[in-house]
Chain A
Amino acid sequence: MLILTRKLNEEIVIDSNVRIKILALNDNQLKIGIEAPQNVKIFRGELYDKIVREMEEAIKKSSEPVERISKLKVNRIKSIK
């Protein structure tokens, strides 16, 4: 892992088209601004990891038997109005 030290308002440039800026510093929180092209996907790390774990589990369970399902009722989201 590359480790850089930055101060408030300083930036990091990645690949000449991604800029990361330190916007605010608190006790245990950092506010970061990211400028990147549309096709660059940006996720919070823990959310990305959670979703990938969910994908892996979905694959693992994809061969579980599903016979009785035609008798069940789909849990619909009621519209919020």
Chain B
Amino acid sequence: MKINTSHFGELEFGEDRIIRFAEGILGFEELKEYLLLKSDDEIFYWLTSIEKPEIVFPLIAIRLIDSEYIEKPESEAFGIVKLDTDPSNITVNLKAPVYINQEMKVGVQTILDADKYPISYSLFTEETD
């Protein structure tokens, strides 16, 4: 299969790369098939819709932020990232994580009940290394 993406240009991939979201992403329930793309030098992943490649969700592995985050068996928790040219405005949605099982190639998004997880969590601290 072939799609044109904004971040990675034209991509050719096998059926085995497709991650299926049976229930879609909230607000985008009709889109079921995604590619999980990553560039080596960045901490972000790009969950790219195959059906509508202009729909891209930047993701970050939540374990980088919270080592005690709610887990799902065999899956990794990702937070949807709201990017910004000013890094101090970049936020992660910890309230509605995306769980991806890369082995089974399936994904699901949940809304967590716990009040402690904010929708807009600042990804970076002021200090730099």
Residues of A within 8 A of B (CB): 39, 41, 43, 47-48, 50-52, 54-59, 61-66, 68-77, 79
Q: In the complex, how many residues of chain B place their beta carbon closer than 8 angstroms to a beta carbon of chain A? A: 43
B-chain residues with CB within 8 Å of residue A41 when the two chains form the complex: 23
**26 pairs of residues in contact across A and B, judged by CB atoms under 8 Å:** A48-B111, A51-B93, A51-B96, A52-B27, A54-B93, A58-B81, A58-B82, A58-B93, A59-B55, A62-B6, A62-B7, A62-B56, A62-B83, A66-B42, A66-B44, A69-B90, A69-B124, A70-B41, A70-B42, A70-B43, A71-B129, A75-B124, A76-B64, A77-B66, A79-B67, A79-B68
A75 is contacted by which of B57, B111, B119, B122 (Cβ under 8 Å)? B122
Select B119's contact among A39, A54, A62, A79, beta carbons within 8 Å: A54
Query: Beyond A51-B93, A70-B41: 9 further Cβ-contacts under 8 Å?
Result: A52-B26, A54-B120, A58-B82, A61-B84, A62-B56, A63-B7, A73-B125, A73-B129, A76-B66
